[in-house]
Structure 1
Amino acid sequence: MSDYKGVLHETAVRFPDTDIWMDSCGEEELDYGLERGIVGATSNPIIVGAVVKEELPYWEPRIRRLIAENPSATEDEITWLLLYEVGRERSKKLLPVFEKFKGRKGRLSIQVNAKYYRSRDKMVEQAVMLNTLGRNMQVKLPASAAGIEAMEEATYRGVSINATVSFTVAQAVAVAEAVERGLARRKAEGLPCDEMAPVCTIMIGRTDDWMKAATAAEGITVIPEALEWAGVAVIKKAYAIYKERGYTTRLLSAANRNVYHWSELVGGDLCQTINYKWQQRLNGGCDMPVEDRIGEPVPAEYLAALEKLGEFRKSYDEDGMKPEEFVRYGGFHDTIKTFLAGYDDLVCLVRGYMI
């Protein structure tokens, strides 16, 4: 009988550089993950909305109290006060991990307002505020041109960033370079950097999603299996660049869609944030061996098929896009719209208690 509680637990124990995170801040989800070796967690308005609805008996009195204590606040302001409460409270569950690893692990990522993706200054201001919610906060900013600029400034101000709405090698490199500039400014002023833990998300499942949508829209036929490897190819390419250049930022995979999104990254010095359902699926019934595969190339047949696609080349080539083009990438506008809709849904929930 195995000593491990599934393949993700085995990954966490046997490959401690491959961090497993929970893509949720729900109490049940965090408890499940912490029992199986997770060392981080992520949130966004969609995740927080789902958590509040799932745990409504717990959060409803908080919502009513926030409304009563802030009689002139708008529904958006109450929503953000709620987001702050969720982040402040759930980050505490990861504090023992944070303390054990001296700030390098054990963080909860919380996202700036998705509506700010074009405003460097608004993102920086909110990032600095979010960083005060707890010792182990990590602030998510979108990898738009303005977001890249905000990441440098937020890093300089001592915020551990998590780049989100990111799908491509070009975005990953731009993020890492921005963080290095911010860290260099801190070091030049003698400011501490030892406990900072920046990461750059590549939403590899959404990279796959966009390849499938783009090929369907253009009427292109591709080997179906190749489209399941697009995101893996992108993150493996970015990973090789990160290791070669020695960036401080670590990569974070997100948006799992298939087993390769876990298995092909095992052994890497990176993070994987995996939602509760996929954690249960992998831990409960995956018989794929836990092996170091980060250095294994994408099957040549699949990569050759993908490289014929213009949208894949935008994703895979380091110079596939310039920062000002990031917001026009299909995966970016699809995802930012999803985040905005998730935020609007949370506002609607709050509105129901205010009216």
Structure 2
Amino acid sequence: MNRVKDIARFGQQVWLDSLSRQLIASGRLRRLIDEDGIAGVTSNPAIFEHALTHDASYRDALAALPAGEPEVRFEAVAIPDIQAACDIFRPLYDTSGGEAGFVSFEVSPRLAHDADGTIAAARRLWAAIGRPNAMIKIPATGAGLVAIEESIAAGINVNVTLMFSHRHVRDVFEAYCLGLQRRSAAGLPIDRIRSVASVFVSRWDTLLDPLLATRAPELAGKVAISLARRAYQFWKHRFGPGSSFAALAARGAQPQRLLWASTGVKNPAYRDTLYVESLIGPHTVDTVPESTLEAFRDHGEASSQLEQGVEDASAVIDHLARIGIDLEAHADALQEEGLASFAKAFSALLERAA
């Protein structure tokens, strides 16, 4: 039995949070699909910065390019990798009816607060990649919400990134549905559009565990999972049977899936497969770094856990409010911190692409 592949029995897809030319050229990505059941790939500026630093084939590819703007040069070497990965996943995309086999590429983090710039970048990247199983990553900022709605209305698959709070989840779901409504009202098809909403997990415990050490130590290591489980309950309310999404579903629309991001465990005191094991449930995606994938392959336990302890999750969130921890304020700070991290990595990769 392959422990990673076993997760699919519970309705969850596992995506790899890594991409490089070496991963593709070596055949390792194909093996991960065949052996572990990996159903997609995500990338971000930090992932590509690491790839450009450690994969010699990128240096050779960049050296062969004419001089030009660093971002243009970066895209010239990165987009072919996105296309190649899409092509590897294409059989899965086709056999799953467009439900799996996606590869994500992110717009520049420098555009995070520029709606028009993000919309233009999403359209350009979608056209440049030219694959139906690509997804364009857009952050869940205020400007990003505008761009998400516009991109969905334009027929672009979107991976919404850097979501931390209930408000982020609610607003992203709304932007997705508004985009579908606009597209349907224009007489355009909505049945092939797919989107995921990426809720970041481990960063919550990294942030709050030190604060809870003296104020509510019994909540340490429980906040991230509790917030994810609450998000899933809201997802069921927004997209489940009897919801207002039913009218769009009747026209072929598919719900926006929740995706668990940042599921690598950062606290060595916790089980290294904690977040993956705790958030297995139907109609979701978990995107995992290679180290977490290897850990789960070795000793992970697959079972349906996402709807276990829902009342306990609510109690944790209520307790946080009682002791004065403002989750929404911390969520916005975490989002800005994530944007800053991606912007730093993006600047570093552009230096390498110059």
Q: TM-score range, shorter-chain basis?
A: 0.7 to 0.9
Counterpart of 1:158 in 2: which secondary structure? coil
CA displacement at 1:89 relative to structure 2: 2.4
C-alpha offsets along residues 180-218 of structure 1, whole Å, 9 cap, x if unaligned? Answer: 0000111112211112111100011122223236x28xx
Residue segments in structure 1 that go unaligned for 5+ positions in a row: 315-320
CA displacement at 1:310 relative to structure 2: 4.1
The alpha-carbon distance between structure 1 residues 118 and 303, as it changes in their structure 2 partners (threshold 3 A), is closer
Q: Check if 1:149 corresponds to 2:138.
A: no
Match of 2:43, as an amino acid?
S
Counterpart of 2:163 in 1: which secondary structure? coil
Which of 279, 283, 288 matches 1:269? 283
Give me the whole-angstrom Cα distance separating, in 2, the residues matched to 1:61 and 1:5. 37
CA displacement at 1:93 relative to structure 2: 1.8
C-alpha offsets along residues 75-101 of structure 1, whole Å, 9 cap, x if unaligned? Answer: 232123233233222222211111112
Q: Which residue in the other structure is 1:76 paired with?
A: 71
C-alpha offsets along residues 42-86 of structure 1, whole Å, 9 cap, x if unaligned? Answer: 001111122233332x222221222x2xx3x12232123233233
Which of 94, 101, 112 matches 1:99? 94
Give me the whole-angstrom Cα distance separating, in 2, the residues matched to 1:206 and 1:32. 30
Which of 233, 256, 263 matches 1:249? 256
Q: Which residue in the other structure is 1:318 paired with?
A: none
The alpha-carbon distance between structure 1 residues 309 and 39, as it changes in their structure 2 partners (threshold 3 A), is farther
* Identity across the alignment (%): 22
Q: Which residue in the other structure is 1:294 paired with?
A: 306
Give me the whole-angstrom Cα distance separating, in 2, the residues matched to 1:126 and 1:146. 13
RMSD over aligned Cα atoms: 2.2
Give me the whole-angstrom Cα distance separating, in 2, the residues matched to 1:344 and 1:51. 14
CA displacement at 1:333 relative to structure 2: 1.6
Counterpart of 1:165 in 2: which secondary structure? strand
Q: Check if 1:227 corresponds to 2:227.
A: no
Which of 5, 23, 32 matches 1:9? 5
CA displacement at 1:302 relative to structure 2: 4.7
Q: Does structure 2 retain, via aligned residues, the 8 Å contact 1:166–1:202?
A: yes
Match of 2:18, as an amino acid?
S
Q: Which residue in the other structure is 1:25 paired with?
A: 19
Q: Does structure 1 retain, via aligned residues, the 8 Å contact 2:145–2:175?
A: yes
Residue segments in structure 2 that go unaligned for 5+ positions in a row: 240-244, 246-254, 266-271
C-alpha offsets along residues 149-178 of structure 1, whole Å, 9 cap, x if unaligned? Answer: 110000000011111111111101100100
Give me the whole-angstrom Cα distance separating, in 2, the residues matched to 1:309 and 1:156. 42
Q: Which moved more, 1:94-103 or 1:270-279?
A: 94-103
Ranges of 4+ aligned residues in structure 1 off by more than 6 Å: none
Give me the whole-angstrom Cα distance separating, in 2, the residues matched to 1:312 and 1:80. 39
